[in-house]
Amino acid sequence: MSDIKVTVKSDDGEKQHVFPSEMGLSLMECLKAEGYDILATCGGMALCATCHVEILEGYNQLSEPSSDEWAMLDTLPNITPTSRLSCQIKLNENCPDLKIIIRGEGQ
């Protein structure tokens, strides 16, 4: 199994992280573990959108958002064509390397 590389772009530049793919964690869980300010108020149930991210690279290789995720994204004022809820992106061996901007509350 290969690890997943996630690059987080912010006003301070870019930070690169490598996460193990075999753990089956969500992107939100991995980002929180790295100390990013993601509220994740609903605990990863796609009910709050506080873990909203914009995918800059790798979006087309991710699975399609569920109807629940689309419904929550549709409530956001800062939605982009590549917006996702990081709690709904499971990091596994089929996941591409990603480049993201964290857009959720707290940012």
Whole-angstrom CA distances from 27 to 19, 45, 97, 102 are 9, 13, 11, 11
Domain 4-102 CATH (choose: 3.30.930.10, 3.10.20.30, 3.40.50.1370, 3.40.50.300): 3.10.20.30
* Domain ranges within the chain, ordered by starting residue: 4-102
Give the list of residues 6+ apart from residue 31 with CB closer than 8 angstroms, or none: 6, 8, 38, 51, 86, 102
Q: What is the pLDDT of residues 10-30, one digit of tens each?
A: 988 999 999 988 888 999 999
Using alpha carbons, list the distances in angstroms from residue 7 to 27, 43, 55: 12, 23, 10
* pTM recorded for the entire structure: 0.92
Nearest Cα to Cα of residue 65 among 84, 45, 43, 46: 84
For strands 83-85 and 52-57, give the pairing: antiparallel
pLDDT digits (tens, 9 = 90+) for 30-89: 999 999 989 999 999 999 999 999 999 999 999 999 999 999 999 999 999 999 999 999
Q: What is the mean pLDDT of residues 89-101?
A: 92
